[in-house]
C-alpha cells in the first residue's frame, strides 16, 4: 500500500477529478491524501476515501511537504496551472524541491501522471517498499553532531 497525494490548482481541479475517476480502480488499495478542495472534489466524484489537508494557500502543500521530507509519501500528482501566478508559489517550489531531494515521483501534468499511474498499476513501484524497509530511524542522522 503506497501513500499517494493529489494536488490541483483551481483551473486543474476538474481535470484531476476526471483523471482520478478514470483510474479509480488503481487508487483503491492505496492511502490517499490531498489538499482540501481537491480532495473534496475527488471524493464527491468517486468512492475513494482521501485524507484531506488544508487547501494549498492555507498550508496544505506544506503539510504534504512535511510527509515528503520524512520520505513518507510515495507518489504525488500535482496538476499545476503554469499560466496562472499562485500566491503561495514559495510553498509550491519547496514541495517540488523536497520531491527531488527525497526521490519522490512527481507528476505536474496529466501526461506524466498517466505514465506514473500505469507504472503503479503494473507494480513498478515495489522499490518504494525497500525505501520504507531500510529507512533510517528518526533522530539517527549521521550528519548530526552532539
Alpha helices for 46-80 (secondary structure H): 60-69
Separation CA 30–CA 77 (nearest Å): 14
Q: How far apart are CA 64 and CA 87, in angstroms?
A: 18
Is 88 annotated for ligand binding?
yes
Distances (CA, A) of 111 to 106, 116, 136: 12, 9, 34
The active-site residue, picked from 29, 61, 91, 100, is 61
Q: Is 55 labelled a binding residue?
A: yes
Q: Contact 25/96 with Cβ under 8 angstroms?
A: no
56 is in an annotated binding site: yes
The CA distance from 20 to 12, in Å, is 12
* Residue at grid coordinates 496562472: 84
Catalytic residue status for 61: yes
Determine if residue 39 is labeled as part of a ligand binding site.
no
DSSP code of residue 137? P
| Calpha distance 27→50 (Å, rounded) | 10
Catalytic residues: 61
Binding annotation: 9, 13, 35-38, 55-56, 88
Binding annotation for substrate: 9, 13, 35-38, 55-56, 88
Amino acid at each position: 500500500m503506497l501513500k499517494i497525494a493529489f494536488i490541483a490548482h483551481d483551473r486543474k481541479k476538474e481535470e484531476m477529478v476526471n483523471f482520478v475517476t478514470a483510474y479509480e480502480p488503481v487508487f483503491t488499495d492505496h492511502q490517499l491524501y490531498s489538499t482540501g478542495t481537491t480532495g473534496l472534489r475527488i471524493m464527491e466524484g468517486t468512492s475513494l476515501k482521501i485524507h484531506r489537508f488544508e487547501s494549498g494557500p492555507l498550508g496544505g502543500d506544506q503539510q504534504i511537504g512535511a510527509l515528503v521530507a520524512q520520505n513518507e509519501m510515495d507518489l504525488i500528482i500535482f496538476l499545476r496551472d503554469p499560466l496562472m501566478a499562485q500566491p503561495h508559489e514559495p510553498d509550491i517550489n519547496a514541495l517540488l524541491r523536497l520531491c527531488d531531494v527525497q526521490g519522490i515521483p512527481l507528476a505536474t501534468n496529466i501526461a506524466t501522471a498517466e505514465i506514473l499511474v500505469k507504472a503503479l498499476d503494473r507494480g513498478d513501484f515495489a522499490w518504494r517498499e525497500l525505501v520504507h524497509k531500510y529507512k533510517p530511524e528518526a533522530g539517527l542522522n549521521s550528519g548530526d553532531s552532539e
